[in-house]
Amino acid sequence: MRDTWGERIFYGFNYIVLTLVALSCLLPLLYLLSVSLSDSQAVASGSVTLYPIGWSIESFRALFTGTNIKGAFQNSVMLTLVGVVLSMVFTIAAAFPLSRRYFIGARFFTLFIVFTMMFGGGLIPTYLIVKGLGLINTYGAIWFTGLISVYNMLVMMTFFKNIPGELDEAAQIDGCGEWGYLFKVVLPLSVPVLAALSLFYGVGYWNAFFNVLIYINDTSKYNMAVLVQQMVQSQSLMAELNQSSSSDQMMLTPEAIKASGIITMVFPMLVVYPFVQKYFVKGIMLGAIKG
């Protein structure tokens, strides 16, 4: 069946809007990449647009030799990997029992958890709790305050509910208990939603900024997000980088070093995303629609 003129106009309009949205996300990233790889004179003159001029990596060299970006990168990796594992374990532990038909009080606990999406204790009470637990200046404060996302838990719970009940009955007939059913049947069938939610948690932990500033006092424990933010705002840091550079690097511009820091921070997520992209839409759609 051929599309009508109205449908063609609608599809064309959607393509135009989506293309503009995609360009609005891609062009700033391309500009930053061009600035980070361009000669300092070209950056200072403002002639760099979407293509590097001069092709220089001196800004990256100054970034890695003049700042603690290596330590911040390692901190971000540890914070993200451990955080994703903990969040996924506790999200599964919360979503699986709530998805069971015979779990008494499932509706009450679900509504109780959803209540926290609309009402929270606030920043000061949360800080006092974290301080009372002795988690200040530790990554435990970051993991504790962001352990479970209610939205992610609801998506996973809905996905578990959509698994055919016949599989549960067959597993019970074969003598499979709750733990066996979870690990041998449910989780192998839940790879799309597990990959999608792991990506959500990973991006959240990798970009953690506000919580790190609040709970972490030791600058050696700062992650990439905080370090790059300090680079963007601190003019004294830019001056120290130029002073620590050799004579042929004295013309390095703050814009080039800042762009290099931002590219270094977002690069890991750009590398990881293509590997989980095929699960992204499928996992979210199957976990968001019941029936």
How far apart (Å, rounded) are the C-alpha atoms in residues 114 and 186? Answer: 23
Q: Which two tokens stand for residue 246?
A: 């050799």
Q: Residue 39 in contact with residue 54, Cβ under 8 Å?
A: yes
Per-residue confidence (pLDDT) for residue 249, from 0 to 100: 46
How far apart (Å, rounded) are the C-alpha atoms in residues 43 and 36? Answer: 9
Q: Residue 232 in contact with residue 258, Cβ under 8 Å?
A: yes
Read off the DSSP letter of residue 222: -
Burial of residue 130 (number of CB atoms within 10 Å: 0-12, 13-18, 19+): buried
Q: How many CB atoms lie within 10 A of CB 211?
A: 18
Q: How many CB atoms lie within 10 A of CB 107?
A: 10
How far apart (Å, rounded) are the C-alpha atoms in residues 89 and 243? Answer: 47
Give the relative orientation of helices 150-161 and 69-99 as an angle to the nearest 10 degrees. 40
Q: pLDDT tens digits, the chain, 291 residues: what are they? A: 677 888 888 889 999 999 999 899 889 889 888 988 888 788 777 788 888 888 888 888 888 887 788 899 999 999 999 999 999 999 999 999 998 888 888 889 989 888 888 887 788 888 999 999 999 999 999 999 889 999 999 989 988 888 888 888 888 888 888 888 888 888 988 888 898 899 899 999 999 999 999 999 888 899 988 888 887 776 556 555 655 554 444 456 778 888 888 888 888 888 888 777 776 665 555 544 444
Per-residue confidence (pLDDT) for residue 291, from 0 to 100: 45
Per-residue confidence (pLDDT) for residue 250, from 0 to 100: 47
SS3 content of the chain, % helix, strand, coil (to 5): 75, 0, 25
How far apart (Å, rounded) are the C-alpha atoms in residues 252 and 246? Answer: 10
How far apart (Å, rounded) are the C-alpha atoms in residues 193 and 279? Answer: 7
Q: Residue 79 in contact with residue 223, Cβ under 8 Å?
A: yes
Q: Which two tokens stand for residue 57?
A: 């990596």
Q: What are phi and psi of 48, to 5 degrees?
A: -80, 130
Nearest alpha-carbon partner for 148 in 122, 114, 188: 114
* Domains of the chain, first to last: 57-288 (1.10.3720.10)
Q: What are phi and psi of 102, to 5 degrees?
A: -95, 10
